[in-house]
């Protein structure tokens, strides 16, 4: 534009433009925060103040004595010799005009630092020279190193917490898992995961629940669900997932990000604690706490739906002499053996609990009095005919009753205890039915 509208002759205009360009270039060269060096045949012949500072060159006179190779350590971190490797880059710059590469540099104080180097070929009237723009990347590398370290720390923390993170990319139709999650699902690292593959891994009994939670999350609800996964080898793990949808400004669901924590061990411990809390440690039968819970539920069923529930109370006859003759440990073993014997006769909904000492109580849902009596008689015979280790034969007395609509747990157990008392006083080794009278609860509850 300046040339076209100029009133001066063309040569003057071009020279003026050249000078302007040169000034601008000189200003850039001098003020640049990046180190710029010019060299020809390996010898540096000019550099800007930033280069003087970066390479700790005290005095401009020194430049003429500097070889480009003196600004690098003998070898690069790759193990390559700097002069050989440097020549490869120089040749490339001379051939193609420019080349960018990472390079280990050395200043005149002997400090090595990483740099990013851009080499340009400049074809000047005096001949071809190379311009090197050097950017010290040590700070950048330190930041990268710190970032890598933080990532490592985070991964380690995730490994310890059995926690993994995932991203479900709806546009690409794939889910990105971290290393931990592949392990949680027992799948090979790096395998392409889609929603269908994920759902396939979810335990069949949990799939519907997971899909419902996912659909709700797509409408903006929080995604927070515990479910099981089945590994290809058949083993099952319990996972807790949390996630959140990210929407685009136009309201489209773009992706979902979330975490998964493997809580298998936690669940196992919880189950163990729960089991211990409701189990008699010696025999493995349920304890009184569990029986109390069950009888309350059965009483409620009895009142609401008139469903019959039967109870049997069983007490070993003359157990004291067993302990006195053979010792307490043998007595314990008899209690364990007896529990196993009774358990073989139970149906799935029946519940066996240790009522105390050598007394056991059976709660049988949906069972009438005659059916319960029949079972009690069968149990009595089984016990009497069983040969217990060390002690041989023993017998037991049993009381039977059914829950009445006016009963509470106390009144029903009192009636049952009276039946058992009569069995004991009628000669033991027998079953006595409590009379079918409706007891009225006499205990506050
Ligand atoms: N080995 C062992 N003995 C127990 C346990 N709990 C209670 N006993 C014993 O069970 C015996 C119960 O004795 P008693 O109540 O006199 O009754 P019994 O000798 O069975 O006589 P009857 O019930 O009248 O036929 C006592 O010797 C208790 O020490 C236990 O956990 N282990």
- The pair phi, psi for residue 360, each rounded to 5°, is -125, 150
Residue 274 within any structural domain of the chain: no
Tokens of 198: 């994920």
pLDDT score at 433:
96
Query: Which pLDDT score, from 0 to 100, does residue 125 have?
Result: 84
379, 333: one domain? yes
Any domain includes 399: yes
Residues 298, 325, single domain; the answer is yes
Alpha carbon of 324 to ligand 1 centroid (Å): 10
Do residues 130 and 47 touch, judged by C-beta distance below 8 A?
no
Residue 251 lies in a domain: yes
Question: What pLDDT was estimated at residue 151?
Answer: 84
Is residue 208 within 8 A of residue 294, CB to CB? The reply is no
- CATH number, domain with residue 201: 3.30.450.20
Give the residue from 269, 294, 327 where a domain finishes.
Answer: 269
Low-confidence ranges of the chain (pLDDT < 50): 1-7, 445
In whole angstroms, give the CA distance from residue 350 to residue 332: 24
Q: Are residues 97 and 167 in the same domain?
A: no
Please give the distance, rounded to the nearest whole angstrom, from the Cα atom of residue 228 to the centre of ligand 1: 45
Same domain, 316 and 258: no
What is the domain range of residue 375?
A: 283-433
CA-based diameter of the chain, in Å? 140
Distance from the alpha carbon of residue 320 to the mean position of ligand 1, in angstroms = 5
Q: What count of residues does the chain have?
A: 445
Give the bridge partners for 363, in sequence order: 311, 351
Domain match, 294 and 244 both: no
Q: Which atom of ligand 1 is nearest to the CA of 317?
A: 25
How many whole angstroms from its chain centre is CA 143? 29
* Site to substitute for ligand 1 among 283, 322, 331, most atoms within 8 A of C-beta: 331
- Among 136, 162, 190, which residue terminates a domain? 136
Which ligand 1 atom is the nearest neighbour of the CA of 316?
Answer: 20
Fill in the DSSP letter of residue 66. -
- Tell me which residue has tokens 């120089």: 90
Strands 163-169 vs 174-177: parallel, antiparallel or unpaired: antiparallel
- As given in the structure block, the two tokens for residue 106 are 């050395």
- State yes or no: ipTM above 0.95: yes
72 found inside a domain: yes
Residue 190 belongs to some domain of the structure: yes
Structure tokens at 443: 């205990």
What residue owns the CA closest to ligand 1's atom 25? Answer: 317
Give me the pLDDT at residue 3, please.
33
My answer on whether 251 and 374 are in the same domain is: no
Classify residue 441: in a domain, yes or no. Answer: no
Q: Are residues 253 and 356 in the same domain?
A: no
User: Would the CA dihedral through 121, 122, 127, 131 be positive or negative?
Assistant: negative
Task: Name the closest-CA residue to atom 27, ligand 1.
Answer: 320
CA of 25 to the centre of ligand 1 (A): 106
Domain match, 117 and 226 both? no
Domain termination site, one of 222, 246, 269:
269
Domain count, the chain: 3
Cα 347 to ligand 1 centre (Å): 28
243 and 319 in a single domain? The answer is: no
Ligand 1 pocket mutation pick from 320, 321, 330 by most atoms within 8 angstroms of CB: 320
Kindly state whether residue 146 falls inside one of the protein's structural domains.
no
Smallest CA separation from ligand 1 atom 11, residue? 320
Residues 287 and 429 in one domain: yes
Residue 413 resides in a domain: yes
Q: What is the pLDDT of residue 9?
A: 61
Ligand 1 pocket, Cβ-based, cut-off 6 angstroms: 282, 315-320, 323, 328, 331-332, 335, 357-358, 424, 428
Q: Residue holding tokens 């007891």?
A: 439
pTM higher than 0.95: no
Same-domain status, 365 and 287: yes
Known catalytic residues are 358
- Both 242 and 294 in a single domain? no
Domain CATH number, residue 398: 3.30.70.270
């Amino acid at each position: 534009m300046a040339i076209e509208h100029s009133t001066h002759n063309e040569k003057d205009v071009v020279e003026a433009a050249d000078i302007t360009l040169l000034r601008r270039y000189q200003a850039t060269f001098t003020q640049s925060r990046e180190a710029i060096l010019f060299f020809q045949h390996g010898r540096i012949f000019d550099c800007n103040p930033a280069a003087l500072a970066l390479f700790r060159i005290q005095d401009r006179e020194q430049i003429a004595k500097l070889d480009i190779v003196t600004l690098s350590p003998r070898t690069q971190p790759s193990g390559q010799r700097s002069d050989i490797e440097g020549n490869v880059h120089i040749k490339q710059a001379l051939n193609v005009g420019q080349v960018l590469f990472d390079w280990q540099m050395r200043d005149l104080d002997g400090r090595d630092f990483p740099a990013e180097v851009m080499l340009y070929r400049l074809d000047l009237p005096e001949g071809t020279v190379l311009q090197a723009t050097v950017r010290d990347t040590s700070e950048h590398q330190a930041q990268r190193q710190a970032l890598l370290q933080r990532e490592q720390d985070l991964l380690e923390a995730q490994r310890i917490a059995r926690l993994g993170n995932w991203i479900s990319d709806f546009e690409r139709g794939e889910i990105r898992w971290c290393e931990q999650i592949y392990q949680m699902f027992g799948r090979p690292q790096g395998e392409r995961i889609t929603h269908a593959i994920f759902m396939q891994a979810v335990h069949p009994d949990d799939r519907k629940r997971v899909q419902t939670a996912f659909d709700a999350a797509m409408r903006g609800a929080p995604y927070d669900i515990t479910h099981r996964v089945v590994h290809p080898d058949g083993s099952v793990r319990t996972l807790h997932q949390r996630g959140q949808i990210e929407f685009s400004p136009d309201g489209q669901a773009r992706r979902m990000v979330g975490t998964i924590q493997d809580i298998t061990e936690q669940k196992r411990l919880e189950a163990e604690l729960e089991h211990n809390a409701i189990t008699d440690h010696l025999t493995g039968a349920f304890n009184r706490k569990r029986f109390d819970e069950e009888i309350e539920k059965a009483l409620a069923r009895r009142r609401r739906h008139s469903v019959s529930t039967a109870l049997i109370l069983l007490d070993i006859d003359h157990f004291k002499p067993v302990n006195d003759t053979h010792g307490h440990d043998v007595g314990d073993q008899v209690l364990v053996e007896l529990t196993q014997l009774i358990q073989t006769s139970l149906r799935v909904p029946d519940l066996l609990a240790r009522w105390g000492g050598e007394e056991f109580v059976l709660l049988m849902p949906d069972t009438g009095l005659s059916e319960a009596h029949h079972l009690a008689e069968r149990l009595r015979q089984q016990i009497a005919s069983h040969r217990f280790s060390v002690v041989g034969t023993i017998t037991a007395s049993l009381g039977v009753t059914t829950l009445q609509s006016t009963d509470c747990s106390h009144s029903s157990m009192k009636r049952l205890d009276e039946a058992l008392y009569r069995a004991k006083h009628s000669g033991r080794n027998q079953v006595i039915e409590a009379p079918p009278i409706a007891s009225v609860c006499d205990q506050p509850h």
